[in-house]
Amino acid sequence: TNNQLGLPVGVTLDRFIKRSQSAFGYATGELSQLLRDIALAGKIVNREINQAGLIGLAGSMGNANVQGETQQKLDVIANIRFVRALKNGGEACAIVSEEEEDIIYTGNDTGKYVVAMDPLDGSSNIDVNVSVGTIFSIYRRVSPLGTKATFEDFLQGGEKQVAAGYILYGTSTMLVYTTGHGVSGFTYETSLGEFFLSHPDIKSPVNGNMYTCNDAYIKNFPEMVQEYIQRIREKGCTARYIGSMVADLHRNLLKGGIYLYPPVPKTPDGKLRLLYECYPLAFLVEQAGGKAFDGNHRTLEILPNYIHQRSPLYIGSAAMVEELMKTIQKPQ
């Protein structure tokens, strides 16, 4: 019982959320409901992903329920699932999704929250049965209740997040999230259809021996980043890269390591999106004691200009990210 609530491993997500609500005083239960809605959509997406190999066989074994959606790609299906759950749940007035250019209005203008999300990250991995994830980030809206949400609701900056997390569809499915009081991890028990607390109070190891980046691009990384990678290689660091950020980050979070997506000539601002990739993961990793920078600034302090903005990202174990920042910022 070493999590901040003193709840034992094995309590359900639902009970954990309820207890957090009274312990941390996040008031009226709307955020709790929103987290439950996300968890529910996660279960549905989990089911679709598990059947992914069968879905192409529509009509025979792949009796994939969803009317007319059977032939759609899973990232599109995941988007539909999450949007529907948040519409039905009523707490979110609007959504920004990697899958859609514009703000998605849920019709719940009295909802107090907005959600930025990547419904299915790493989707190129689905066809080959490799882990993928959902990333989400929640803000309290700043526009008046009862009106339509605005861009300002989404462009508050990472420090204004009230909750963030991910669902990892891996060898087991996990929900990991923070509301700013540490990080808790839940494992999905398929036969019961419940998430159970399995990783109370996750702490990022201060140091690690793994680095995670796309090796094919190293020659295009900024020189100082190359120098850093060279140095930690010589120190005996090993490389791990799944190409599914949630899975890569989850491993590094538990075992210690650094994830790097630097700017490269092809994508001078990096590849990852601030609102639904960098911010939520930075919030979560910092809550676990780790760090996240874009090369110049702490990720959470970057102020965004538009909803699909990209940012370089260096994230993970505190000592590793600090050393990298020192290397990048040293006077040349």
By CB under 6 A, is residue 245 in contact with ligand AHM?
Answer: yes
Q: Which residues are annotated as a binding site for Mg(2+)?
A: 98, 118, 120-121, 277
Q: Which residues within the stretch 76-105 sit at the binding site for ligand AHM (CB under 6 A)?
A: 98
> Closest distance between ligand AHM and the C-beta of residue 83, in Å?
17
Q: Which of 48, 118, 153, 294 binds Mg ion (CB under 5 A)?
A: 118
By CB under 5 A, is residue 153 in contact with Mg ion?
Answer: no
Q: Which of 108, 244, 299, 311 binds ligand AHM (CB under 6 A)?
A: 244
153 binds, among Mg ion, ligand AHM, none (CB under 5 to 8 A by kind): none
| Cα 277 from Cα 8, distance rounded (Å) | 30
| Cα 21 from Cα 18, distance rounded (Å) | 5
By CB under 6 A, is residue 118 in contact with ligand AHM?
Answer: yes
Could you tell me which stretch among 60-68, 84-92, 117-125, 300-308 binds Mg ion (CB under 5 A)?
Answer: 117-125
By CB under 5 A, is residue 121 in contact with Mg ion?
Answer: yes
Q: Which of 123, 179, 187, 299 binds ligand AHM (CB under 6 A)?
A: 123
Task: By CB under 6 A, name the binding residues for ligand AHM.
Answer: 98, 118, 121-123, 214, 243-245, 248, 271
